[in-house]
Amino acid sequence: MLITGDRRQLKVHLESLPRAVQVGFGLDSVIINLDASDGIGKTALQVGYRSHPHIVQCIEAGFYRPHGERLIAGRNPEERNMLTASQLKLPKAGSPLILIHQVDEAERDAVSMSSYNPGQTWTALRILWRLFNVLPPDSSILCICLYGTQANDIEREVLAEEELNRS
């Protein structure tokens, strides 16, 4: 069995889950208990690719360094800022964040119970279409989703659009 988690990151927000799974499934304690157990193999996160290097430095200073651990950025600021020189108006150079105020409510897939947000999906697709239109054809775009259902929906839309463009 492989369980992933980071004891230095935010815990599961139990209140956002159905009441039936809030207690008794280890969501509030499994990482802490496994971390304290002898005989359990552990691998620590040491390189963060998810955030801008300045954000990684803040996370390291606040959560890793006090425990004698290190977290370094997997990309340098220039790599993270590559899109700021494109025709698409993204953040100012050196600014690691894009904040989009999304007011739509999250929903839960009836089968997988994966959360998703149709408004976020639509916003992500609009950004992707814009990127496809302004970036060179050989560009590679990676869309990171927090929810499996949402990732599947976006992938399905992108593949359908690619098929439409081929015909």
pLDDT in tens, 31-47: 777 778 888 887 778 99
CB-count exposure of residue 64 (10 Å: 0-12, 13-18, 19+): buried
pLDDT for the residue 157: 93
Residue 99 pLDDT > 60? no
pLDDT for the residue 89: 54
Residue 82 pLDDT > 80? no
Q: Where are the domains of the chain?
A: 100-167
Tally DSSP H helices, then E strands, for the chain: 5, 4
* Minimum mean pLDDT range among 51-60, 95-104, 157-166: 95-104
More confident residue, 22 or 96: 22
- The structure's pTM equals 0.45
pLDDT for the residue 21: 77
Give the separation between CA 131 and CA 129, rounded to whole angstroms.
5
pLDDT for the residue 147: 74
pLDDT for the residue 96: 45
On whether the CB atoms of residues 128 and 135 are closer than 8 A, the answer is: no
pLDDT for the residue 4: 66
Integer angstrom CA distances of residue 131 from 4, 70, 89: 32, 34, 10
- Provide, rounded to the nearest whole percent, the portion of the chain with pLDDT above 70: 79
